[in-house]
Structure 1
Amino acid sequence: MKISQLVGPRTSEVVDVADPVPGERQVLVEVVASGVCTSDIGPWLARDPAAGPLRLGHEIVGRVVDTGRDAGRWRPGDLVTGLGGEGFATLAVMDADAVLPVPPGIEPAHAIGEPVADLEEALSRTGIRPGHRVSVVGLGFMGLGLVQLAKRHAPGLLVGVDPDPARRERALALGADLAFAPDELPEEYRADTGRRGEGRMDIVLEATGRTAGLATAASMARPFGTLCVVGYHHSGDAPMDMDLWYKAVTIVNGFCPDRTRLMTAMSTALRLVAERRFSYAPLVTHRFALHEVDRAFAAMEAAGPDFVKGVLLP
């Protein structure tokens, strides 16, 4: 099999290695699509060559080619997606209880289960209900996915926020009612401790992964509202807007480390994909071959107006 591995800053290589063998409760899949995730851009930017090769890729869609002894519910030929690793490759091993079938009639690149499961699981913990005023701050891949997922809950108002006009246009096309640049937000959408906050948001979904985006999101939450931090802030500290404390805002950590919860969310998300209520079609804008991993990350880093998400097609 062939696999891409990171060997230094911005430098990957494709090597030939022995085909992996699935364990008792695992499946071996031929990778047909693998999403390139923003959570991996940090290692790509700064990999220490002395640390040895690093194999990335956890957003996998694959066709089962072999199964372990206790993975009998899966059969060769099944098209699956789920939680895995080392997916920038032609073959990958995945746990049998961490994959689900790709909905019939859906293109593999439009059925990647892991990222939409992350978004759905985070949203499920916000208490979103019909009529809520909802804002999504940051309209990259994650934010545009959240716009689609939030829209199905019939919010009373759905507002997108991003400095990029192309991203704002995409949000409007995907169901946002209004879209603003952060510095053009109407005053009634911003917090001001001491006011009642009727014009602000019941739920704010932060999807920027940046301190400035977090500050904008915090300013939009109403008293007793909810701020869900979905963006990848990686490591280190981020300042807390103490107005959140004075407004009694509930802060939800959008990250989920629990596989059972993620698989439950993935099941819901794939049903939405099957029903065409969530679509990757407007989100997957760039496709790359396996040997073009570095080009895929460079496109993500540049984040041009035509870019939302890249997918490898080994």
Structure 2
Amino acid sequence: MKISQLVGPRTSEVVAAEDPVPGPAQVLVEVLASGVCTSDIGPWLGHDPAAEPLRLGHEIVGRVVDSGRDAGRWKPGDLVTGLGGEGFATLAAMDAHAVLPVPAGIEPAHALGEPVADLEEALSRTGIRAGDRVAVVGLGFMGLGLVQLAKRHAPGLLVGVDPDPARRERALRLGADLVFAPDELPEEYRTQTTRAGDARLAVVLEATGTTGGLRTAGSLVRPFGTLCVVGYHHTGDAMMDMDLWYKAVTVVNGFCPDRTRLMAAMRDAIGLIAERRFSYEPLITHRFGLDGVDDAFRTMTEAGPDFVKGVLVL
């Protein structure tokens, strides 16, 4: 097989390697698509050339070509997606208990199970209800996915917040009712202005991964509301405004370390994809080949107005 591996900062190479042999509870898949995730930017930017090469790619869609003795429910030719690793390759071994079938009629690049499972699992713990006033702060890939997922719960108001006008326009097309730049938010969304009611939001979904975005998100939550931190806060202290304490806000950690919960969320999310109630089509804006891993990460870091998410298509 061929596999892309990091050999230094911002430097990948495609090498030949032995085909993986699936373990007893694994399936071997021919990789058809593999999403490029922001969580891998750090390793791509700073991989030590003296260290062993690093193999990335965990958002896999593939065609089963072989299976271990305890994975017989999967047959050659089955299209699957799920939780995996070393997916920037032509072949990948995956846990047979951590893959699900790709819905009929959905192309592989639009069937990435892992990212939408992360979003759906996080959203499931917010207690969102029909009629709730909801905001999504940060309208990149994760935020736009959350707009789609939140919309199906019939919020009374769905607000998108992002400084980029192109991202705000996309959010409107995907179901947001109103969009604002952070410095243009109505004052009543941040403070209680009347005794008759509070215009702040019941559920706020933070998807920026920045302390500034987290601060904006916290300011929008009403007393006894919920702030869900979905953004990938991999650097800095991610300080929270102590006003959340005085407002008795419930803070939900959007990260889920439990594979069982993620697979349950993935099952639900793939069902939404099958029903065309969630779509990757407006989110996958850039495609690359196996030799384009560095281009994919470079495009992500530059994040021009036409970029949402990149996928390797093999």
Corresponding residue of 2:7? 7
What is the DSSP-based 3-state SS (H/G/I as helix, E as strand, rest coil) of the residue aligned with 1:50?
coil
Corresponding residue of 1:166? 166
The Cα shift of 1:235 comes to 4.0
Identity between Structure 1 and Structure 2 (%): 82
* Structure 2 unaligned residues grouped into runs of 5+: none
**Counterpart Cα distance in 2 of 1:247 and 1:214:** 16
What is the DSSP-based 3-state SS (H/G/I as helix, E as strand, rest coil) of the residue aligned with 1:49?
coil
Q: Counterparts of 1:1-314 in structure 2 under 5 Å? A: 1-191=1-191, 198-314=198-314
TM-score between both structures, scaled by the size of structure 2: 0.98
The Cα shift of 1:46 comes to 1.0
**Counterpart Cα distance in 2 of 1:143 and 1:5:** 29
Deviation string, structure 1 residues 12-32 (Cα, Å, up to 9, x no partner): 000000000000000000000
The Cα shift of 1:194 comes to 11
* Structure 1 unaligned residues grouped into runs of 5+: none
- Answer yes or no: is the 8 Å Cα contact 1:111–1:273 preserved in 2: yes
Deviation string, structure 1 residues 108-146 (Cα, Å, up to 9, x no partner): 100000000000000000000000000000000000000
- Answer yes or no: is the 8 Å Cα contact 2:192–2:200 preserved in 1: no
- Answer yes or no: is the 8 Å Cα contact 2:287–2:313 preserved in 1: yes
C-alpha RMSD over aligned residues: 1.3
**Counterpart Cα distance in 2 of 1:8 and 1:34:** 21
**Counterpart Cα distance in 2 of 1:238 and 1:20:** 39
What is the DSSP-based 3-state SS (H/G/I as helix, E as strand, rest coil) of the residue aligned with 1:251?
strand
The list of structure 1 runs, each at least 4 consecutive aligned residues, that deviate by more than 2 angstroms after superposition, is 191-197
The Cα shift of 1:191 comes to 3.9
How many residue pairs match? The answer is 314
**Counterpart Cα distance in 2 of 1:26 and 1:228:** 34
**Counterpart Cα distance in 2 of 1:233 and 1:157:** 27
The Cα shift of 1:236 comes to 4.1
The Cα shift of 1:167 comes to 0.2
- Answer yes or no: is the 8 Å Cα contact 2:166–2:305 preserved in 1: yes
**Counterpart Cα distance in 2 of 1:279 and 1:229:** 23
What is the DSSP-based 3-state SS (H/G/I as helix, E as strand, rest coil) of the residue aligned with 1:238?
coil
The Cα shift of 1:159 comes to 0.1
**Counterpart Cα distance in 1 of 2:306 and 2:90:** 28
**Counterpart Cα distance in 2 of 1:160 and 1:73:** 42
